[in-house]
Amino acid sequence: MSTIAIILLQTDPVIPGFVGNALQILGISVVILIFIELLSNLFPKITRLKKNLFGFLRQHFKFKILEKKAIALDIEGAINETVLELQGELPAGWVRKASIKWVKEQKASELNEGEIILRIRPHEKQDSNLVNGIYSFFVSSLFPETKEIVPECTQKAVAIQISRRTIEEKRAYALKSFENEIVEREIKIDPRILVYLEDFKLLDQRGFFTGSFLREVDTVAHKIRFLPDRQTFLDEITYVINHNKGFIEALPEVPNHLWTRKSTTSSYRFLLVKSPYKYKHKIYVNRAQMSYNDGIEHLFILGAEVEKEFIKKVIEEIEKIPNYRLAEIYKLHKDFRGNDKGIGALFIAKFK
C-alpha cells in the first residue's frame, strides 16, 4: 500500500492536469489512510473515526464493500477498545487485537480445531452481528494454552462475563441482544453455565475475577495436565470460586482461615495491600514469608490504583525474598473495595 502511495505521489508532471491531480489526491489519501491505520493500532478509539467515515460513505454509496467495511470496523472497534485495557489485565498473550477476515471459500483441511466462521448479516442486523462477533472472539481467545484442560462450560462462562463487560462499557445498546441471543443460547446448550454467571459478576466487581481466579485456574490447568486431578478439575474450580466469593463476602473483617486456600492442586494466598504508612510494608513482607513457610505456592497481591506507589514498594520488598519469583504485575478493572482500577501482582514460591 505504501509503495502505491509513493508511486502515486511521484506522478510524472507530464501527465495531463486532471489525471495528474486526481492521482496525487489519491496518493495523499492513501498516505492518510496508512497513517490512520498505524494510529488506530496504538489508539483503537480512532477506529470509531474510521467506522463513522465508512458509515457515512455506506449511506451515500450503496456498495457492498463499504457495507462490509462499516460492519467489520464496528465489531473490531468494540473489541479492540476493550482489548487494549484487557491486555494489561489478563495474562500476556491471552487477548490480541481483533481483525475481521472475510471469507468466501474455505477448505475444511485449513480450519483449526475449534475455529468458527460466523455469518454476518446486512447492517440492519448489526446488533446481532456485534454481539456474536464479540462473544466468538473472546470464547476463542481465552485460555490459549489450556483450552483442552479447562472445562468448556467454565470457558464459556468466562467469555460471557468478559463479553458482557465489554458490551456494557462500549456498546450498551446491544446488551439486550447479547443476553437474549448469546447467553440464552449458551445456557440452553449447557445449563451448568448458570452456576457461574452471578459468581463471576461478583468476583469481577471486586477485581478477583481477573486478579486471582482466572490466573489460578490457568496455572492449575498447566500443573494437572497429565495428572488424575484433571478429571475433577470442575470441582476444584467450584471450590476456588466459592473461596473467592467467601473471601469477598467477609471483607473487610476476613477471618484467618479465608486468606489462603490449599488443596492438592490449587494453593494460593491473598495479600490485600492498603494503609500506606511508613514502614508498614514490613508487615506485608512478613506475611509473604509466612505464606512461603506454610507451603503456599501462589501469592496474589491486590490493591487500589490510588495506593499504587505503596503497592509498588511492597512488591519491590517481596521481590527481595529469595524464595519468591515475581511472575507478573497487572492492572485490575476494579480494586477489592469495588472502586475503579486496581493493581495486582502474582508471586510464585520457589520450593526445593
Partner 1 sequence: MKRLNLRHFLSCIKERFISKNLKVVYDDDVPTLLSSLDLLDKVDRGEIRCSNCNNIITREKFGYLKYVNGKVELYCINTNCICQQ
Binding site for partner 1 (CB under 8 A): 41-42, 64, 68, 72, 75, 79, 84, 87-88, 92-93, 95-108, 111-122, 128, 132-133, 136-137, 140-141, 180-182, 184-185, 188-189, 312, 315-316, 319, 326, 329
Whichever of 138 and 259 has its CB closer to partner 1, that residue is 138
Shortest separation between residue 99's beta carbon and partner 1, angstroms: 4
The Cα 98–Cα 216 span in angstroms is 26
Paired strand residues for 344? 302, 330
Smallest gap, in angstroms, from Cβ of residue 71 to partner 1?
8
Shortest CB 6 distance to partner 1, Å: 22
In this complex, which beta carbon is closest to partner 1, that of residue 140 or of residue 323?
A: 140
Tell me the closest approach of the beta carbon of residue 180 to partner 1, in angstroms.
7
Give min distance, CB of 207 to partner 1, in A: 19
Cell numbers of 263, please? 488443596
Residue with smaller CB distance to partner 1, 28 or 118: 118
- Give the nearer residue to partner 1 in terms of CB position, either 68 or 223: 68
Nearer of residues 114 and 191 to partner 1, judged by Cβ: 114
Dihedral angle sign, alpha carbons of residues 312, 143, 96, 341: negative
Sheet containing 267-273: give its strands across. 260-262, 267-273, 298-304, 340-349, 324-334
Least distance between partner 1 and beta carbon 159 (Å):
13
Cβ atoms within 10 Å, residue 169: 13
Dihedral over Cα of 148, 153, 154, 160: its sign: positive
Nearer to partner 1, 229 or 317 (CB): 317
User: Quick one: which of 257, 278, 265 has its CA closest to 237?
Assistant: 265
Distance of CA 350 to the CA centre of its chain: 28
Tell which residue, 195, 167, 221, 275, has the closest CA to residue 213.
Answer: 221
Measured from the CB atom, is 179 or 229 closer to partner 1? Answer: 179
Nearest distance in Å: CB 77, partner 1: 13
Nearer to partner 1, 112 or 256 (CB): 112
Whole-number Å distance between alpha carbons of 193 and 234: 12
All 3 cell numbers of residue 352? 526445593
Minimum distance from residue 103 beta carbon to partner 1 (Å): 5
Burial (Cβ within 10 Å: 0-12, 13-18, ≥19) of residue 219? buried
Cβ(259)–Cβ(310) below 8 Å = no
